[in-house]
Structure 1
């Protein structure tokens, strides 16, 4: 374990409080990494934890096979904008661009976090 990670864990054990991830604070449960380098290895572990599977061989895979699976008394997939339905049924065909920026006042702190943790864990 990297010395900085050990120091961080000790800090949170002293200054933090215990939470019940199986109870009232279950919303805090999140994917974790088994090693010091994160990358994308957490994806298959999280899929297994949720009794799911990764779909990597279907270039047209979606979050749902059909939005009609959600049809009910107050929802009809047929009423959706076709682009929304296409996104949910063929999610892997879509691309998303995301970026983050720091307010100038917080830039030094953000740069510190990035240099100490971000680049190392990828």
Structure 2
């Protein structure tokens, strides 16, 4: 039986051991669509990005011309009809994310709020990752949004794009995720978001489609390992890789034009029950 890395916080060890017991052992070279940056045992904030860049011998670029979480929406390989229907404003947001101001509101299902508080106290506050406010936010709260590219020194190619988001009023880090595109074993092109965690990561892979009025729909509702969905990935005490697909947890985002701005609604569900909803208002910076 394999064991998680022992010299870490007990709650981190327990969750990693659960992934080892319930998940599957993998070889990274066989699953390139799943592999992403791992966190260290400290907080996962901007300091981590600098540490990761040094470890991978990459250059940090905050002022590069590429300012979007997806360099080209054409790479999503949508059908010709879907891509022509997709809102040009949505395309611009994903390709030029840093040009936009974001505001968000949060609404919890009261039945799941306790679990949100527990996760925040055990994990999120300490590691500065997936740090979702545990109180409902009815009025829009401004987010500080920053794109940080890590570039290969030899090829000048962007290897990783971090989207760093925090609450503007308090500085509380919400997400520090690596965004991009991956191709599943089925050949389907998806949007991929990797959130580094201690000695591993949480990865959300979302299937893109185009809805009414040019809205982009990103949905992680897969059924099995290899589908779009939510994955944990980690290394055990021997350096072996393990992954667990969480089919019960799903994430759905719908983003599109709304009068003079862009609006988005993101719903997180567990066992088909709504856990919480984010509503975003996205506007060009003035």
More strand per residue: 2
> Within 5 Å, which residues of 2 pair with 1:81-100?
83-84=89-90, 86-88=92-94, 90-98=96-104, 100=106
Given the alignment of the two structures, is residue 9 of structure 1 paired with residue 5 of structure 2, yes or no? no
More helix per residue: 1
Q: Alignment partner of 1:8: what SS?
A: helix
Q: Alignment partner of 1:31: what SS?
A: coil
Deviation of 1:100 after TM superposition, in Å, equals 4.3
CA distance in 2, matches of 1:67, 1:110: 33
**Higher radius of gyration, 1 or 2:** 1
Q: Structure 2: which 5+ runs fail to align? A: 1-7, 75-79, 129-286
Deviation of 1:102 after TM superposition, in Å, equals 2.5
Tell me the TM-score normalized by structure 1: 0.58
> Within 5 Å, which residues of 2 pair with 1:1-122?
1-13=8-20, 15-20=21-26, 21-23=28-30, 26-43=32-49, 45=52, 54-58=60-64, 61-62=67-68, 63-64=70-71, 74=80, 83-84=89-90, 86-88=92-94, 90-98=96-104, 100-122=106-128
Distance 1:81 1:8, change over 3 A: closer
Give CA deviations for 1:41-88 in whole Å, capped at 9, x if unaligned.
Answer: 454638x96x98643125884454x889xxxxx59x9x9866345435
Provide the residue aligned with 1:71 in structure 2: none
CA distance in 2, matches of 1:17, 1:60: 36
CA distance in 2, matches of 1:6, 1:85: 40
CA distance in 2, matches of 1:11, 1:67: 36
Q: Structure 1: which 5+ runs fail to align? A: 69-73
CA distance in 2, matches of 1:37, 1:110: 19
